[in-house]
Amino acid sequence: MPTYRPGPVSLVLAALVALFLLMPLLAVIPVSLTPSRMLTMPTGELSLRHYRSLIEDPRWLDSILLSLRIGVVSSAFSTALALTFSLGIWMFQPRFTAMLVGFVLLPMVVPPVVSAVTLYFLLTSISGLTSFFGYDTWLGVAMAHSVMTVPFATVLILVSLSQLDRRIDLAARGLGASVWERATRVIMPNIKFGIVTAALLSFVLSWEEIGVTLFITSVNAITLPRLMWMGLRDNIDPAIAALSVILIIITVLVLAVRSVVVRIRGGV
């Protein structure tokens, strides 16, 4: 059977777009190898000094550890909340399902800058009550990140639930399983992949979150993107290029592994 394939014009245009998409990612490689202390193209020799400064400069290491901690805590929290909520929606199909899901998705739809102002209001209000949970604290950042990532986790879990055959749950129910048993022993094992994906996505979104973080931190809770932002705005530190190269390599590797896994599993 013949198929409809893109013609030469389409291929050339798509290639140009592909080039545009990859260009800035490739451009950071030569910059990261410059021996200069400023953002320039290397002219003669190459140097790894900016990669070394990532390890030797405690500021980079501290912010990497902080971002990891915030990412893990906020991802666990938002995945747990998203999971219980989605189970409630799927098992009981309450009357206002559309409204409830719509409300939960708000932080994903509202312009991020408005969410940032909102979370700034929240954390500065809390700061007056307690000192370790408010503005510019790591717990405050973790909470704000959970607000921002929970809609994405919910969407992923709801999507994997929607692909689940309701009859297995009905069977469990008919055989007398309690709500707890149905959730933990019948439904959750069947949406494992969706739950793990939700946790991973929440982690990644928190790990690279900058829009909200800028509004709710100043000097103490300096996450990795926050430190990159500071280095980008003042005079540009080529260590950012070295860090970018490492992050890009990790992304490419993870995507490659994922596509192999998907190919083996034969699904999404």
Contact with other proteins (CB under 8 A): which of 56, 57, 121, 260?
A: 121
155 close to 105: Cβ distance less than 8 angstroms = yes
Over the range 57-88, which residues count as b (16 or more CB within 10 Å of their CB) and which as e?
eeebeebbebbeebbbbbbebbbeebbebbbe
Choosing from 35, 39, 164, 181, the residue that interacts with other proteins (CB under 8 A) is: 39
Q: In which residue are the tokens 């013949």 written?
A: 2
Minimum distance from residue 228 beta carbon to other proteins (Å): 5
The reply on whether position 110 binds other proteins by CB under 8 A is yes
Q: Which of residues 44-103 bind other proteins (CB under 8 A)?
A: 80-82, 84-85, 87-89, 91-92, 94, 100, 103
Enumerate residues 15-34 that contact other proteins by CB under 8 A.
16-18, 20-25, 27-28, 30-31
* Residues with Cβ within 8 Å of residue 117, at least 6 apart in sequence: 215
Exposure string for 94-125, b = 16+ CB within 10 A, e = fewer: eeeeeeebeebbebeeeeeeebbebbbebbee
Closer residue to other proteins (CB): 193 or 229: 229
Q: Which residues in the 224-243 window bind other proteins by CB under 8 A?
A: 225, 228-229, 232-233, 236, 240-241
Q: Report 135-174 residues binding other proteins (CB under 8 A).
A: 143-144, 146-147, 150, 154
